[in-house]
Structures are given as structure tokens and as C-alpha cells.
Chain A
Amino acid sequence: MSKVVNIEKAMNFVTDSSVIMIGGFLGIGTPENLIDAVVGSGLKKLTIIANDTSFPDRGIGKLVVSRQVSKVIVSHVGTNPETGRQMHAEELLVELVPQGTLAERIRSGGAGLGGVLTPTGVGTVVADGKPVIVVDDRQFLLEKPLRADIAFIKAEVADTEGNLVFRRSARNFNPVMATGADIVIAEVNLIVPVGALDPDEVMLPGIFVDYIVKE
């Protein structure tokens, strides 16, 4: 059965206070049309899990500017002055997570793990409140898994069963986020029939993807 839907159908899964993972790295590999639909919906109090809050006029940055977000879990906010302003005004909660730790927390959430032990952040403020576990004389932080209600991801090509091919550095967080959310919606540039993709070239198995929207 084809997973291709229109964007209005995809929006039915998002509500006020939804936790949403959004792929992309400074806006590269971000599903812009899905984000524009969320902006148009007026939904509020969203939690966004993403690498960064992009720029004010691009990607996740637009959701911050439209004041629909109450919390972000990200590794970097420096390219979006509005994120910084809302953070300092205590209008937006910002949880900063080292980028590799963010990737592994999402992977843990998607892979059924109870978290990950990482040396990153030991001896820094990132370690505050987290268990330090010694393995073979080296200290690691226990970082807990992250999951989301919905993941919005971006790919170059999908077949109608949701098998995905990503392009260049637009891949970034997209594949791992597809493993860590209850509903996964992929925005793609091109949709091809089942069988058009060689199984060896599929970068994310379609079993992770619930719905496909075309850019």
C-alpha cells in the first residue's frame, strides 16, 4: 500500500505539546514544507529535538520565530539570534546536548537501549546530575535515550513503501531520527515505484517510514 499522502493528512498527527524530531544541519536536509505546514497550523508548546535551531528564516528557525516552541533539545543555537533572545528571556527552554551525544541518545531511543555511555562531557556542566560510570578505569556519562511522538525527515528519493535515499550532507540526523519516533513522515524530492530502488542502495528501510509527502 502506498504511503504517499498530502501534507494536510500528515499534519493530523501533530497536536499542541507534540514532541517532534526534525532532521537537518543548519537547515540542510530539513523538510521545509512540513515545517511551513506546522507554522501555518498555529500549534503551540511544541518540543523540538534537532541538531540546531538553524537560521531565523530557514527550517526549524521559523518555528522558533513563530513562538510555537516551548522547548528545544539541540547541540547548537548560535546561528539563530531569536533562539538566544527567547532563551535569555526564559520564554524558551533550551537543553544543549553535545552533537555526538544527541545522535547516540536518539539512536538509543530507536534501538531499544537504556542509554549510552560516552566520555563526552565528563568534567563539564554537561555531566551535572548524570551518573558517572567507570568502565576499565575510564569515566563515562550515562546519557538517556530520546524518543519523539513524530519525526519529520527529509530525503531525496522514496519508493512508495518508504524506502529512502538521502543526498550528500542532507543525510545527517535524518536516518537515526526515523528510528526514534512513533510516527515518521518523510518529505522527499522524488517518489518512484516499488522495485525502482535496488535494495542495496536503500539507506533507510521503508519499515521505519509511515507517510511520505512530496516537496
Chain B
Amino acid sequence: MDNRELIARRVAKEFKTGDLVNLGIGIPTLAANYLPDNVKVILHSENGFVGLGPVNGLEDPDLTNAGGKPAGIAQGGAIFDSTMSFAIIRGGHLSSTVLGALEVDQEGNLANWMVPGKMVPGMGGAMDLVVGAKKVIVAMEHVGKGGAHKILKKCSLPLTACKEVDLIITDYCVFDVTSKGLVLTEKAPNVSLQQIRESTTADYLISPGIKEMVV
């Protein structure tokens, strides 16, 4: 199993039947492939519908996901405009949102929308999603290119939102973001506590009940 699949499989365990979930582009989107058979969630697509699913039959040029890729809409789905889509997002109607990160820190701050002077794609719907969803899950590879740390004491890049992250799921481990800071609750198979320590700049507590990640 590659690292991205491991993370996606672990993310999929966060959902329960009836949840309304928005999945970001990349690893978060993969999580939809690993939902247990008995868990039925509703996926929200910020370009304006609930019931996002795979293409069913022929591709429809008027129906894409928020990344502009052809998509399907499940039975029971509903279409709406952008103001309704973001009323759903900002109004606390999303059970959870899952996003990637460039950096996340021990206070739950998230940076995932720009690197000044290098990469300025824009925030799209990310700032609204992180502020509005009941639960914010960051899903990402634990270290960046060249081993760069991404879980920091304080984000250095421009923030997406302040203190909104609830859970961090990586290919090394799972951190809960609590009022006391980060708490390491699970570690991946074949990853040592030492490796996690050496790959994480942030301070964190180790939960007395720390478990091996089950995926």
C-alpha cells in the first residue's frame, strides 16, 4: 500500500452514515474509495451540488467536481447555486471537510493556499470550508519534498484559517488538535515514535492510549 492510499484509508474511517462531507483535491478525494460498505455519506461539491459521485454512464459536460473533472450525481442528490453552496459550507451544515496542507501547526492553524512569490493559485473555497465545517481534517504526507517538516510550532506561510484544524492524519501518525495542543493518538505500522519525533517540529503530547493505525 502506498503512503497516499494509507492516508486515504485512515481518513475514510472518520465518517459515519449520514455525514455531509467535502473532500479536497488529491489525497482527500481518494478517501471516498475506501468507505466501509455499511457507511453511506453524502458528498458536497462546492461548485454547487450534494450527491457527488463517480461518472455514471456517459460524461456530462455540465457536471464536474470542484476540480473541473467529470463527475456524477447520486440518486437523491441536489443541485444549487454558489450562494447556497457556501451557505451550506459556512453555516455549519458540513459534518466534516478534509483538505491537504502545506503547513499545519500545534495551535491548529492551517496554511494551504499560497507560497508568496512562487505559487499563488488562490484559496478557492478552502478558507470558507475550514472556517465553516464542524470538523476539519488535514490529510497529507507527513514530510514534504527533501524531508521538510510540515507540522510546525507556528505556520510560516500565509494562513488559510486560524485554529480551525481538529485532526491531522499522515502516513506516519494521527494527531488530535486539543486545547492542550497536539496529542499523538495513533502511529502507522512500521513507523517508530523516534521517526515521528524527528519529522515533526511541533510540540505534542503522546496519548497514554496510543494505538497502531488500523486501515
Contacts and interface: CB of A to CB of B under 8 A. Distances in A.
A19 B113 CA distance: 27
Nearest to B68: A26
Contacts of A101: 127-128
Contact of A28 (B62, B73, B89, B159): B62
B107 to A, nearest CB: 11
A51 interface: yes
Contacts of B60: 168
A125 B158 contact: yes
Contact of B48 (A98, A100, A121, A171): A171
B81 A124 contact: no
A101 B46 CA distance: 13
Given A28-B68, A78-B121, A99-B86, A126 B127 contact: yes
B77 to A, nearest CB: 10
Interface size class of B (residues with CB under 8 A): 35 or more
Interface string B82-119: 11011001100000000000000000000000000100
Nearest to B82: A103
Contacts of A87: 120
A167 B81 CA distance: 11
A76 B120 contact: no
B47 interface: yes
Contacts of A77: 120-122
A152 interface: no
Contacts of B172: none
B124 to A, nearest CB: 4
A79 interface: yes
Given A79-B68, A100-B89, A169-B49, A176 B82 contact: yes
Contacts of A99: 46, 82, 86, 123-125, 128
A173 B82 contact: yes
B122 A78 contact: yes
B48 A169 contact: yes
B162 interface: yes
A171 B81 contact: yes
A202 interface: no
B45 interface: yes
A120 interface: yes
B123 A27 contact: no
A174 interface: yes
A125 B68 CA distance: 27
B47 A28 contact: yes
A168 B120 contact: no
A180 B15 CA distance: 39
A98 B85 CA distance: 13
Nearest to B90: A100
A175 interface: yes
B43 interface: no
Given A124-B159, A168-B62, A75 B48 contact: no
Contacts of B122: 52, 74-78, 96
Contact of A174 (B81, B117, B132, B162): B81
B90 A76 contact: no
Nearest to A204: B81
Nearest to B89: A100
A118 B81 contact: no
25 contacts: A25-B68, A28-B63, A51-B82, A52-B124, A77-B121, A77-B122, A78-B121, A78-B122, A84-B121, A100-B89, A103-B82, A104-B83, A118-B90, A120-B131, A120-B132, A121-B127, A121-B131, A122-B161, A123-B161, A124-B160, A168-B60, A169-B71, A171-B79, A172-B48, A173-B81
Given A120-B132, A169-B45, 9 more contacts: A52-B124, A75-B124, A94-B120, A103-B83, A107-B83, A120-B127, A156-B62, A166-B79, A173-B82
Interface of A: 25-29, 51-52, 74-79, 84, 87-88, 94, 96, 98-101, 103-104, 107, 118-126, 156, 166-176
